[in-house]
Structure 1
């Protein structure tokens, strides 16, 4: 059975999109290469006007509408990036746009979509529910439905980034691509395998949403739950994308939430790049499965950078905690003048930075003449943290770790 698109469709899309969307840079990433053991280059789709690759497929779809369809307008359902892309280019082309987004869509994406002039409706808990409402609106108002992934023109538009990647770096061994509904990976696979038949295309899903892994492997792993990678949190694979993924994608890697968080933080610290959870999925796969990528030339698609600033800050702090560069502990000791100053001076002499201190005398499990001091410190690395806490223990201060569930019964 023929696929929904061919390399000629992708090349036709590239002609239409030339000068209309950014040909984003493919940048060598020595910091990420050292971290992973692969030779990494990153395709920075977070540099598009709306912050993601979705502009390619959205614009190519909109460019194919006739005058009457443009007059009536379009409707799309999306968790964020497709919504912004459709809204942005619809306004550029003078096309009315309605965007239906799930209620839990990150605020930054919903507000950006409104900012591009679209009518935004927040409906349903999932993309399936949002999609049902969008299709109802299409029938009711005569709008053209712009699917986020299961559409030949959308798929062909997304595939243009693979032509750019291999045009710049024809020696790449692997392209590692996030998978939601499959529009991006399908376009990439068709283009890449036509240009370089031996290249390996690896798709990456959030472990909470293993839709393609289930479909391709005949498995029935549960689907659902809160994920940092909401852009690829898709429960139902595309009917047009599935055959292409089955035939042309070499492997599917599922990455868990800690791996996605680590990848977001690694992009920020090692590559100076801001990425959303879905955008970091490719790096999460390389970090999680070094056996698949060690020693290979790997092109990562950083598919989007639309992450809420507060969420990014939380992810960065959580990663510092995982690396034991931030540690919280409680000291219980005799209450005496100058105690806080002495503890602060000792931590300073050990090279630790104090982030927070809480001083308490009222806990009933503490003797009346004693005091508790809860301290959060920042250090250079996990080894430094261990050295600091060992030094406090040797001073007789007996630091006890405070974790997510509270005070531990053990000392460091």
Structure 2
């Protein structure tokens, strides 16, 4: 531990340094999530920070250690959003000018919030690496202090304070599950957790398309790319310092797919009544995707952030309802006669379904001239309820087909 670039003492000093200026977020046991995944689960709600992300911890720990001259010159950072907001918010509080370079794909909500904290925003590049190159160029040209989002011992020590708090609030935790982007959070948490409990397991989680840490630890070439709703951990270049710590302290890194991340976002909202962005829900996604790894364990789950575009969140929730069979599209062939639509609606209502949309199809699809196809979108309780609705309609002579997009 002493040979690593960040020590437990560094994390403990960071905790003292930032105390009172960041939220000591709750770490609570979730009986419902525990039942679903087959493990005892505690949730650390870092999405309840003022900027809705753990990134404040490392940003503030770094800013507080700048010399007066560096504070006066101002700072610059590259970020897909959460580091940007953490730096911008605390730089504004401390009177330090801040410039943030953000990739062009950064969600609008993160751009707006960062600008609202008083930072100068530069949108540049299609990847975090391209944004980073521009940030370094501006730093050199304008003599600004570069605040790296993860490859800095001060940042790492600050992020590790989240794990200190988790183990203070729930000392029985024996497995820590942490999202992995550039590696700053998991390396800091690993230093803190293994420093306090040498036998604790530390497991990282990456989006399947951006499994750079897993590939590096396995000695494989790094190949990443593609769209992901977990843009906060869509990182190609793992930091040199985090990687050194990860090699020493991590047990393993798991990958999770997009559908499982969507399911985790929906579960956190439905069960814990908390909003998580894709990266923030990655830990729960790992428990859903790899239950055998966590069976019977006492798991600390870090919800790292809650900055998600509201339109995307709405889409994820609706897609989840469709996958669960709670919104279904039924296609019926009915006689093109008065009263048939009312008859269908009556049967669905009697069976407990709630119609949310209806579309007639008379001209296309090859139906007979005296028939029509009727697409009915129905809100249901679950998949067994869908089967009850279909049976009720078929018993009255209607031909019914559940459209494929509702069959998971």
Q: Which residue of 2 aligns with 1:139?
A: 140
Q: Which residue of 2 aligns with 1:295?
A: 296
Q: In the aligned structure 2, how far is the partner of 1:136 from the partner of 1:58?
A: 21
Alignment of 1:100-115 (within 5 A): 100-115=101-116
Q: 2:347 touches 2:392 (CA, 8 Å); kept in 1?
A: no
Q: In the aligned structure 2, how far is the partner of 1:221 from the partner of 1:79?
A: 20
Q: In the aligned structure 1, how far is the partner of 2:93 from the partner of 2:82?
A: 17
Q: In the aligned structure 2, how far is the partner of 1:394 from the partner of 1:296?
A: 49
Could you say what secondary structure the match of 2:373 adopts? strand
Alignment partner of 1:43 is 2:44? yes
Q: In the aligned structure 2, how far is the partner of 1:314 from the partner of 1:344?
A: 27
Shift, 1:220, TM fit: 3.6
Unaligned runs of 5+ in 1: none
List structure 1 runs of 4+ shifted beyond 3 angstroms.
none
Q: Which residue of 2 aligns with 1:99?
A: 100
Given the superposition, is the C-alpha separation of residues 161 and 364 from structure 1 closer, same or farther in structure 2, using an over 3 Å criterion?
closer
Moved more, 388-397 or 93-102: 388-397
Q: In the aligned structure 1, how far is the partner of 2:401 from the partner of 2:106?
A: 39
Q: Which residue of 2 aligns with 1:24?
A: 25
Q: In the aligned structure 2, how far is the partner of 1:401 from the partner of 1:221?
A: 42
Q: Which residue of 2 aligns with 1:153?
A: 154
Alignment of 1:8-407 (within 5 A): 8-220=9-221, 222-363=223-364, 365-404=366-405
Could you say what secondary structure the match of 2:281 adopts? helix
TM (norm. structure 1) is 0.96
Q: In the aligned structure 2, how far is the partner of 1:222 from the partner of 1:160?
A: 31
Shift, 1:364, TM fit: 5.8
Q: In the aligned structure 1, how far is the partner of 2:26 from the partner of 2:283?
A: 17
Unaligned runs of 5+ in 2: none
| Cα RMSD (Å) | 1.4
Could you say what secondary structure the match of 2:378 adopts? strand
Shift, 1:354, TM fit: 0.8
Count, aligned residues = 406
Q: In the aligned structure 2, how far is the partner of 1:105 from the partner of 1:17?
A: 27
Given the superposition, is the C-alpha separation of residues 330 and 224 from structure 1 closer, same or farther in structure 2, using an over 3 Å criterion?
same
C-alpha distance after superposition, 1:366-392 (max 9, x if no partner): 222111211111111111112212322
Q: In the aligned structure 2, how far is the partner of 1:371 from the partner of 1:81?
A: 52
Q: In the aligned structure 2, how far is the partner of 1:9 from the partner of 1:71?
A: 26
Moved more, 280-289 or 1-10: 1-10
Q: In the aligned structure 2, how far is the partner of 1:221 from the partner of 1:346?
A: 56
TM (norm. structure 2) is 0.97
Q: In the aligned structure 2, how far is the partner of 1:338 from the partner of 1:39?
A: 54
C-alpha distance after superposition, 1:283-308 (max 9, x if no partner): 00011111011111111000001111
Shift, 1:221, TM fit: 6.3
Q: In the aligned structure 2, how far is the partner of 1:31 from the partner of 1:395?
A: 40
Could you say what secondary structure the match of 1:295 adopts? coil
C-alpha distance after superposition, 1:5-50 (max 9, x if no partner): 1011101101101111011110111111111111111000001000
